[in-house]
Chains A and B, each alone.
Chain A
Amino acid sequence: MTFNNKTNNLEEPVNLDQVMDSLKKLDSRNKKLMHGMYIVYVVFALIYTGLLILNPDPELGLNRRLQGGMYVLIFSMSAIYFRYHFRKNKAVDYSAPVLEMLTAARNRHKLWTKGTVCFIIALVGLTDIVVTWAIIDDKFLADYSLIIKILLVQAVYFITMGISFLIGYITWRRKSMPLVHNLNRIIEELKKDEG
């Protein structure tokens, strides 16, 4: 964001009223954006609920409705988790001491945090259960025995997950890893002469 009164003369005093006006507009825009995202998540959750659980279609059996409920749960979990992270990342405390700010930045960019691991295990586990359940329940793969069906679903699911994680890891390695290493080095150097 740049203010309208941007000038190349660094000694020229800025028009603070104009600056504050721009800041208020920015704050208001961010609030609207956050609220908008929240509304989108809620609407999606409601649509899924309507389609997969409350749908009056008599052919939609109990199993399908329960699976729908689990999809809604997975979707809501993801929405809440990403919203929490988005807020956390937006709320960087620039008024904290430099060491504290750098440590927080390092932790934000780490590949694994306790919270992320727990969330991923829960999400992958839950999705695995519901996908396996849905496919076993379906006419698809009807000629195979239950064990074969489960093994096939697990193989495809975990290969897909593996590829997703690999893409995520490569992206992290390219974008965040150098920063994490540098932040580690800087943090260590800052602490080096502590008595």
Chain B
Amino acid sequence: MNSKDIQYKQIIEENQSRIRSVSRYYAGTSDDSEDLYQEILINVWRGLEKFRGDAQLSTWVYRIAVNTALSFVNKKNKYLNFNTYLDDGKAANLVGDDREDSIVHEKQLELMSNLINQLSVVDKIIMSLVLEELNTKEIAEIVGITETNVRVKIHRIKEELREKVKGGQYDI
């Protein structure tokens, strides 16, 4: 095993869950999700020689994952319209994780999922990173916009979601 192999193995092992999350978020079926996951692995391999350490490793992996996901979505739909698939655990952060009433919880998730899918492509990208619990600096580095812009966008998206949830019943 050469140094590239070792580095790659280490990166994938450390970031596997992040890559899985992005794959699930952008791809609908488990087959698509698996295909996307493998495309991300390929692009991480290809990008490894260019990694200069300017960004954090996790940020670098997220960039590759999100960019690959967008290209993947584009192959399926040239209008770049895609549905997001909320991870149960991550989405709980948006709707509050009171699991005592599973029916209410399920409805909340469904509602949140529908609302997020009504957002624009850009807002969905931002939300995918918010759901990963990344801070504004990291999101800004991944997306390539300023931190202020990220904060404004997150604030606006949350306001928009809040507006859409009837009577502000769910905490976001």
Q: In the assembly, what is the distance between CA of A146 and CA of B135, in Å?
A: 74
- A residues contacting the other copy or chain, number (CB 8 A): 40
Contact B35–A2 (Cβ < 8 Å): yes
Contact A101–B145 (Cβ < 8 Å): no
With contacts A10-B33, A179-B74, A182-B78 known, is A94 near B5, CB below 8 A? no
With contacts A13-B16, A94-B47 known, is A99 near B143, CB below 8 A? yes
Interface residues on B, range: 35 or more
Is the CB of B98 closer than 8 A to any CB of chain A? Answer: no
Q: Of residues 172 to 195 in A, which have CB atoms within 8 Å of B's CB atoms?
A: 175, 178-179, 182-183, 186, 189-195
Contact A26–B42 (Cβ < 8 Å): yes
Contact B42–A7 (Cβ < 8 Å): no
A 97-111 to B, binary, CB cutoff 8 A, 1 in contact else 0: 111111001000000
Contact A16–B121 (Cβ < 8 Å): no
Residues of B within 8 Å of A183, CB to CB, are 80
Is the CB of A23 closer than 8 A to any CB of chain B? Answer: yes
Residues of B within 8 Å of A11, CB to CB, are 20
Is the CB of A20 closer than 8 A to any CB of chain B? Answer: yes
Contact B145–A194 (Cβ < 8 Å): yes
Q: In the assembly, what is the distance between CA of A182 and CA of B60, in Å?
A: 25
Q: Tell me how far the C-beta of A18 lies from the nearest C-beta in chain B, rounded to whole angstroms.
A: 11
Q: Of residues 103 to 156 in B, which have CB atoms within 8 Å of A's CB atoms?
A: 120-122, 125, 141-146, 148-149, 152-153, 156
Is the CB of A145 closer than 8 A to any CB of chain B? Answer: no
Partner of B34, one of A6, A182, A195: A6
With contacts A2-B38, A194-B149 known, is A98 near B33, CB below 8 A? no
Contact B35–A93 (Cβ < 8 Å): no
Is the CB of B50 closer than 8 A to any CB of chain A? Answer: yes
Q: In the assembly, what is the distance between CA of A100 and CA of B145, in Å?
A: 10
Residues of B within 8 Å of A159, CB to CB, are none
Residues of A within 8 Å of B148, CB to CB, are 193-195
Partner of A23, one of B45, B80, B144: B45
Q: In the assembly, what is the distance between CA of A20 and CA of B9, in Å?
A: 8
Residues of A within 8 Å of B170, CB to CB, are none
Contact B122–A95 (Cβ < 8 Å): no
Q: In the assembly, what is the distance between CA of A31 and CA of B144, in Å?
A: 32
Is the CB of A3 closer than 8 A to any CB of chain B? Answer: yes
Partner of A97, one of B47, B63, B74: B63
Could you name 30 residue pairs across A and B whose Cβ atoms are closer than 8 Å?
A8-B30, A8-B31, A10-B20, A10-B24, A16-B8, A16-B12, A16-B13, A19-B12, A20-B5, A23-B41, A92-B71, A93-B47, A94-B67, A95-B47, A95-B60, A95-B67, A96-B63, A97-B141, A97-B144, A100-B144, A101-B70, A105-B71, A175-B78, A182-B78, A189-B122, A190-B122, A191-B145, A191-B149, A193-B149, A195-B149
Q: Which of B's residues lie within 8 Å of A, judged by CB? A: 5, 8-9, 12-13, 16, 20, 23-24, 30-31, 33-35, 37-38, 41-43, 45-47, 50-51, 60, 63-64, 66-68, 70-71, 74, 78-80, 120-122, 125, 141-146, 148-149, 152-153, 156
Q: Which 8 A-B pairs have the closest CB atoms?
A: A97-B144, A99-B144, A193-B152, A95-B47, A94-B43, A94-B67, A189-B122, A195-B148
